[in-house]
Amino acid sequence: MKYSFSRRIQKTPKSFIREILKVTQNPEVISFAGGLPNPGLIDTEGILRAAETVLKNDGRNVLQYSNTEGYAPLRQFIADRYKNRYNISVNPEEILITNGSQQCLDLLGKVFIDKNDAVAIERPGYLGAIQAFSLFEPEFFPIEMHNDGPDSGELKKVISEENPKIFYGIPNSQNPSGITYSIEKRKEIGEILTDSDTVFVEDDAYGELNFTGDILPPVKKYLPDLGILTGSFSKIISPGMRLGWVCAPEEIIDRISTAKQASDLHSNYLSQRIIAEYLLTNNIDEKILKIQEEYKLRCNLMTNLMDEMFPPEILHTNPKGGMFIWLTLPKNYSSQKLFEKAMDKNVAVLPGNPFYVDGGGDNTARINFSNADEEGIRTGIEVLSKIFKEWKN
């Protein structure tokens, strides 16, 4: 049977991560390929108590349809946290609850992007955003990433010459590189975009996972009218509950709400109520601190082992938070071959080329440190080290 699929779905790339995860389901495989929060840090007992409470006290309402914007007390909690954490005043009406932060990208694409519109994105960029935005057939303009954030000169050029609808970036522990924008870079981006028509879509999925103790202000602080923040409960409570949010000026939220009504009416109301109850009855800051401490240990262990075992020409980033380390290999190395060689030894890594909208990245790879335990990290890095040494010889 020959089906007449739409042009947009034929042009949309599959999620390379999801395809790789299919081959890493074997429990014998040490996977550095995905972006999974550590399962040992999910508070199953606390979530169970919260679920029991909401079902017992308000079960019929909790299991009913709800409004598109989301549960009001949960939106208020998010608004209060922006005020307390970043000193940013946000009205709960400027927040809409989504099915994970990935849905934010789909909704923003529907609201902003027409075919052939210019979209600026980091290079390398988050492949989930690349996939989501590709559905709307834009023209991507990649902005090279440096150790302190995107290249300012390239950004200015793209903004002035191409007038992109949006610039999508991840200032905190960027996926895939692990790079965190400096405060100076955040201010500079605000200055560059202030007099433009370009909206900055600031994906803050990893902001709470900064394990240096620093709390860096969002770019939105310097760009209130053109800044959109997205956030997620997946990294700090549970990815399986699929809850995120978008924070934007009310005019934008109104358009996003319309797009969401056409998509799914509203996000999972039971999950919203359970998470709201969990936040009410647990100290989320203590939980986040524990996650930060555990991820810092894993990240430091992995980077120290890389420094000790890898040949000096294998370069890596030193993340301040998040879940990922970015490898840059010599030009004659192929990360796809690295993936194949490592899989032969039951270790999975993620080749870097899917993170580039303009090609390239064949000698780069993303390594996840959050999901593996200490033994898995040691064994996996030792396997990669042997592959690199065999390659060199």
Residue 10 has pLDDT above 90, yes or no: no
Instruction: pLDDT band for 93, please (50, 70, 90 cuts).
Output: very high
What radius of gyration, in Å, describes the C-alpha atoms of the chain? Answer: 21
Rounded to whole angstroms, how far apart are CA atoms 182 and 71? 34
| Across 86-104, average pLDDT | 96
pLDDT at 9: 86
Nearest to 111 by CA among 246, 15, 244, 267: 246
Average pLDDT over every residue of 27-50: 93
Which of 20-34, 218-232, 271-285 has the least mean pLDDT? 20-34
**Whether the predicted model's global pTM rises above the 0.85 cut:** yes
Q: What is the pLDDT of residue 12?
A: 79
Using pLDDT thresholds of 50, 70 and 90, give the confidence band for residue 35. Answer: confident
Q: Give pLDDT, residue 4.
A: 87
Task: Tell me what pLDDT residue 391 has.
Answer: 85
Question: Is the pLDDT reported for residue 19 higher than 70?
Answer: no
Nearest Cα neighbor of 74 from 353, 210, 272, 328 is 272
Q: Tens digit of pLDDT for each residue in 209-253?
A: 999 988 999 999 999 999 999 999 999 999 999 999 999 999 999
Taking CA atoms, 347 is separated from 24, 25, 337, 363, in Å, by 9, 12, 13, 18
Average pLDDT, the chain: 95
Q: CATH for 7-43+286-392? A: 3.90.1150.10
CA of residue 33 relative to chain centroid, distance:
14
- 293-330 pLDDT, tens digit each: 999 999 999 999 999 999 999 999 999 999 999 999 99
pLDDT band at residue 16 using 50, 70 and 90 as cut-offs: low
* 174: pLDDT strictly greater than 90: yes
β-strand partners of 231: 245
pLDDT for 341-375, tens place per residue? Answer: 999 999 999 999 999 999 889 999 999 999 999 99
Residues 65-85 pLDDT 10s: 999 999 999 999 999 999 999
- pLDDT of 17 > 70? The answer is no
DSSP-derived pairing of the beta strands 139-146 and 118-123: parallel
Domain ranges, ordered by start, for the chain: 7-43+286-392, 59-281
Of residues 87 and 332, more confidence is placed in 87
Q: Which CATH architecture has domain 59-281?
A: 3-Layer(aba) Sandwich (3.40)
